[in-house]
Amino acid sequence: MAVVTLNAVGKTYPNGFEAVKPSSFTIADGEFVVLVGPSGCGKSTLLRMVAGLEEITAGALQIGEREVNDVDPADRDIAMVFQNYALYPHMTVRKNIGYGLKNRGTSTDAIEAKVQEAAKMLNLTELLDRKPSQLSGGQRQRVAMGRAVVRDPSLFLFDEPLSNLDAKLRNQMRIEIKALQRRLGVTSIYVTHDQVEAMTMADRIIVLNGGEIEQIGTPAEIYHSPASTFVASFMGAPPMNLIEAWIEDGAVRVNDGTLLASSGNRTVGPVHLGIRPEDVQLAENGQIPFDISIVEELGARRLLHGELGGQPFTVHVGKDVPATAGQTTVHLKPESLCFFDPKTGKAT
Amino acid sequence: MKRAGFTTVWLPVALLLPQLSIIAIFFYWPAGWAVQSSFYLQDPFGFGSTFVGLDNYTDLGRNTEYLRIAWFTVIYTCLVTFFSLAIALLLAVKADKVIRGARTYRTLLMWVYAVAPPVAGFMGIMFFDQRTGPITDLFQTVGSDFKLGVNYTDTATAMVIAAVWKQIPVNFIFFLSGLQSIPKSVNEAAIIDNRSATGRFWQVTFPLLAPTTFFLLIINITYALFDTFGIIDTLLKGEPGNNPMTLVYKVFLDGFRGNDLGGSSAQSVILMVLVLILTVFQFRLIERRIHYT
Ligand SMILES: Nc1ncnc2c1ncn2[C@@H]1O[C@H](COP(=O)(O)OP(=O)(O)OP(=O)(O)O)[C@@H](O)[C@H]1O
Ligand SMILES: [Mg+2]
């Protein structure tokens, strides 16, 4: 268990590509932090720098009280779970789980006891004498978890550990991993590009884009107050609606003059107005016309896709709200509106 | 899975026929012929032969020179196999670490593979030449006088070095592709689990290379026993004298130089049985311990 501090940590690969721009943040003791972002944004690179598998080319990394930039991965007191599990194919489950302990000079009896304990925790007791090739994907995933848990490290690192599982198993393992982490209270960094995983598992989310941190915040903050249009459209399915509008005389209007909201005391000029699809209500006699072209039935909910002020717009309603294609009007919850600067994309 | 089958017997037979006839004509027929002639004593001038039963075999057992050569062959095979595997593995592990330049490195090493055994032997002669050979010079600088073809140990050393040198590229290529088929993340997991690189090599990398190593072991033993003939022949320049030689070379020498076809056939039969036993032994004993993924 440890605090992890990154002080302007960056990575430039030998070919000159800067995969991670100097980034700083602190992860509290026992916190579960999720790194999320599109493919190639530098999530794995950042995680692997923390693990010591990739050299840190700028800044300083601290795990606990210690600066670990030049510390061997085996000495950083971390455990990592890989996307393809990375089990040792020639070792039994028992040996796979115990290997890290054996190399740290733990006695055979102590190893056996710890392996048994970890196996019990992860329902692996029956499988201890099997080889990885004799296990299902979910079981392999559990062994990989066991290998991390048994070492009782001060930091867990996960690199998309669930992306090779089918949807159902993924949901189940997601909950198990989170519960396990809660119980053990080990500080964790978890990389994923699945925003559902990010939202449900994280204490705090770090959104990365092009090697840069876009926003750090709790899932609620990230969801309801995105710091940029990138975060707004990356997190949430369907993403936040973004409408090009104009602020003048204390009002926000679209091109055709429709009044969307009051602008408070924001400066005059162009703005991107953001609103989550579920924060829009269909209104019988509303002020804002919405032209529905497609109704998507999702069972419990409905997605209404269409146009508002000539721009694509989506509304998310419960299954009890009747909706058909055609003209209607909507109401935007004023407290749910987000304003972004069109030039920088940042929230204003 | 759906299994495809042949509707007639003749098609599969016809498809197998070329392969089977090659094996029959170039292996079973001469092998059978060798077994038969090993029971006869051939007249050196070609005037018929007499049946002598197992005499050819018992003679060999009493022949101290033959036993000496057999013993040399065992040592030679062990040395060649061990060094060509060990050096190739070392080179492959080093090459696996460098991602850039690996291609050039691989190509350079692979060139040696294209060298025919007699040419390798000839190059050996040049390297170990009494007056101009660089390796002889090297030995001289450390104060030892290297005499290829005169001194028994010196000739044996040259044979081993030439044979090892010739075999390294094949082993290297197999080891390198074996190493590269180990998932990167498995190595990384090991890096986190074990600080010692040597420990990781013997506990993770080497076991995962076991199928490759086992295959190469068989290939290399066969190579050392049989395919080094060309190297030995060239190094000895057809003048065996008191020099070391392997059993295969002895078969050739007795049969074609000594015109003792019966004795030479008996030797070939012994070699065949030896290889058979070796192969069965290897598959039975070693393969069971190997993990194939
Ligand atoms: N060894 C390398 N040399 C040069 N560039 C690299 C190297 N490894 C990765 N990159 C680049 O660095 C960037 C970040 O890679 P990284 O693997 O961290 O992405 P990621 O966010 O984990 O993506 P994904 O979700 O696809 O796994 C990518 O653009 C990638 O092309
Ligand atoms: Mg990645």
**ipTM of the complex in this document:** 0.87
pLDDT in tens, A116-156: 999 998 999 999 999 999 999 899 999 999 999 999 999 99
Pick the CATH number of B62-287 from 3.40.50.10210, 3.40.50.80, 1.10.3720.10, 3.30.1370.60: 1.10.3720.10
- Ligand 1: atom nearest CA of A208 is 21
For strands A241-248 and A269-275, give the pairing: antiparallel
Cα A204 to ligand 1 centroid, rounded to whole Å: 23
Q: Cβ contacts of residue A56 below 8 Å, gap of 6+? A: A9, A10, A11, A49, A69
CB of A320 closer than 8 Å to CB of A281: no
> Residue B248: how many CA atoms within 13 Å on its side-chain side?
18
> Residue A19: how many CA atoms within 13 Å on its side-chain side?
19
| Cα(A18)–Cα(A49) distance, integer angstroms | 13
pLDDT in tens, A248-262: 888 999 988 888 888
Contact A131 B193 (CB under 8 A): no
Q: Cβ contacts of residue A262 below 8 Å, gap of 6+? A: A250, A251, A252, A334
| Cα(B37)–Cα(B50) distance, integer angstroms | 10
CB of A9 closer than 8 Å to CB of A56: yes
DSSP symbol at A200: H
Residue type, A99: Y
Res A219 pLDDT > 80 = yes
Question: How many Å from the N-terminal Cα to the C-terminal Cα in chain B?
Answer: 21
Contact B183 A86 (CB under 8 A): yes
Contact B208 A131 (CB under 8 A): no
Q: Is B32 exposed, middle or buried (0-12, 13-18, 19+ CB in 10 A)?
A: exposed
Cα A38 to ligand 2 centroid, rounded to whole Å: 10
For chain A, the domains span: 4-233, 238-340
CB neighbour burial string for B281-292, b if at least 16 within 10 angstroms, e if fewer: eeeeeeeeeeee
What residues of chain B lie within 8 A of the CB of A89, using their CB?
A: 186, 208, 291, 293
Strands, DSSP E only, in chain B? 40-42, 49-51
| Cα(A252)–Cα(A125) distance, integer angstroms | 62
Q: A238-340 belongs to which homologous superfamily?
A: Nucleic acid-binding proteins (2.40.50.140)
| Cross-sheet strand order for the sheet of A66-67 | A18-27, A4-12, A58-63, A66-67
Res A307 pLDDT > 80 = yes
| Cα(A59)–Cα(A69) distance, integer angstroms | 9
DSSP symbol at A335: G
For chain B, the domains span: 62-287
Higher pLDDT, B238 or A65: A65
Overall size of chain A counted in residues? 348
> Residue B185: how many CA atoms within 13 Å on its side-chain side?
16
Nearest-CA residue for ligand 1 atom 12 is A19
Residue to mutate among A88, A102, A106, A149, with most B CBs inside 10 A, is A88
- List per-residue pLDDT tens for chain B, 293 residues long: 566 777 788 888 899 999 999 999 988 898 888 888 888 887 766 677 788 888 888 888 888 888 889 999 999 999 999 999 999 999 888 888 776 556 777 677 677 777 777 787 788 778 877 777 787 788 778 777 777 777 788 888 888 988 998 888 889 888 988 898 889 999 999 999 999 999 999 999 999 998 889 889 888 998 998 888 888 888 887 677 778 888 888 888 888 888 788 888 899 899 889 888 888 887 777 666 666 65
| Cα(B186)–Cα(A137) distance, integer angstroms | 16
Contact B192 A103 (CB under 8 A): no
Q: How many Cβ pairs closer than 8 A exist between chain A and B? A: 62
CB of B82 closer than 8 Å to CB of B197: no
For the A4-233 domain, the top CATH level (class) is: alpha beta
Average pLDDT in chain A:
93
Report the residue of chain A nearest B293, measured CA to CA: A89
Strands, DSSP E only, in chain A? 4-12, 18-27, 32-36, 58-63, 66-67, 78-81, 155-159, 187-192, 204-209, 212-217, 241-248, 251-253, 259-262, 269-275, 280-283, 288-297, 301-308, 311-318, 326-332, 338-340
| Cα(A112)–Cα(A95) distance, integer angstroms | 10
Nearest Cα residue to B106 out of B98, A269, A125: B98
